[in-house]
Amino acid sequence: MRTLLTSKWMKAVVFIACLMPLAGLGWRALHNGLTANPIEFITHATGDWTLRLLLVTLAITPFRKILALPDLIRFRRMLGLFAFFYGSLHFTTYIWLDKFFDLAEMWKDVSKRPYITIGFLAFTLLIPLAVTSTAGWIRRLGGRRWQILHRAIYISAVAGVIHYYWLVKSAVIRPLTYGAIVAVLLLWRLADRYWPRSGALRNPSLRSEPQKVQA
Ligand code: HEM
């Protein structure tokens, strides 16, 4: 497993896998498969993938510790950046295709529709994380401060789930499922912080430190 995770191809495989939802949208666009309401379809697909990739990013630390696979850290930055990428597409769909850059209309939405307000918060919080995801920023901020800043991903994930929950009318099962996953991931972190397993303490490669960014 270690050999697989550290192979230079694995990053390319994860990268291509993360591009698949976008390729799927492109394929549908070329084959008239975006349904009768393409804007809604794209908004939903990009929103779904933003949230899924946020959860996968949050799951890296628990998985690397529980499965004793420290090399999983190699993929965390890429997954987080892809979450931001799909979030940007989701947001762009809203401001461009849905609102045609009508600032007054958008302001009305942000101030009057709570699910838009909280979606906005979820996305805004991801911007500094994407900007500071490089090795240079880890150095500049220092590991401790970088880690504190990057805890904003927890708030973004919770806000993303609330955004989803508030926008659905009756089909609450999916947002609640995402919510349950976020809750488990956050509770695991709390437990790991206050009751760390002795194995993780002994093994420095499993401590929660900012990852070394590979080129
Ligand atoms: C991290 C940030 C965000 C996440 C994780 C997220 C996630 C989602 C999800 C999961 C959906 C529902 C998809 C489905 O029904 O299958 C959705 C829908 C939507 N989101 Fe977001 N979103 C985010 C930010 C935003 C922002 C910033 C805006 C606009 C300012 C926005 C506007 C919308 C709209 C308009 C819909 C469709 C609502 C409807 O169909 O009634 N989202 N989002």
pLDDT tens-place string over residues 98-111: 999 999 999 999 99
Amino acid found at 194: Y
pLDDT, residue 177, reads 98
Residue that the structure tokens 């666009």 belong to? 29
Q: What percent of the chain has pLDDT over 70?
A: 91
- DSSP codes joined into one string, 14-38: HHHHHHHHHHHHHHHHHTT-S-S-H
Of residues 68 and 209, more confidence is placed in: 68
Ligand 1 centroid–CA 24 distance in Å is 19
Cα–Cα dist 155/79, whole Å = 17
Evaluate if residue 202 carries a pLDDT over 70: no
Q: Tell me which residue has its CA closest to atom 34 in ligand 1.
A: 43
In the chain, count H helices and then E strands: 11, 0
Instruction: Give the residue, by CA position, lying nearest to ligand 1 atom 14.
Output: 44
- Residue with CA closest to ligand 1 atom 11: 47
Residue 93 CA to residue 111 CA, distance in Å, equals 19
Q: What pLDDT is stored for residue 209 in this prediction?
A: 57
The answer on pLDDT for 23 being more than 90 is yes
pLDDT for the residue numbered 214: 40
Q: What is the mean pLDDT of residues 15-31?
A: 98
Judge contact between 110 and 117, C-beta under 8 A.
yes
Nearest CA to ligand 1 atom 36: 43
Average model confidence (pLDDT) across the chain: 92
Torsion (CA) 21, 22, 24, 27 in degrees, nearest 10: 180
What is the CA(203)–ligand 1 centre distance, in A? Answer: 40
* Residue 78 clears pLDDT 90, i.e. is over it: yes
More confident: 200 or 47: 47
* Distance (Å) from CA 107 to ligand 1 centroid: 16
d(Cα 60, Cα 157) in Å, to the nearest integer? 14
User: Model pTM?
Assistant: 0.92
**Per-residue pLDDT, 215:** 33
Query: Taking Cα atoms as reference points, which of 52, 44, 30, 125 lies closest to residue 90?
Result: 44
Question: What is the reported pLDDT for 4?
Answer: 85
Residue 188 is predicted with a pLDDT of 96
Output the residue whose Cα is nearest ligand 1's atom 13: 44
What is the pLDDT at residue 205? 62
Q: Which of 50, 54, 126 to mutate to test the pocket of ligand 1 (most atoms within 8 A of CB)?
A: 50
- Tell me how far the alpha carbon of residue 33 lies from the centroid of ligand 1, in angstroms: 20
E strands within the chain?
none
The predicted pLDDT at position 213 comes to 45
Report residues whose beta carbon is within 6 angstroms of any ligand 1 atom. 40, 43-44, 47-48, 50-51, 87, 90-91, 94, 116, 119-120, 122-123, 126, 156, 160, 163-164, 167
Q: How much is the pLDDT for 1? A: 79
Question: Taken in order 5, 78, 87, 153, is the CA torsion positive or negative?
Answer: positive
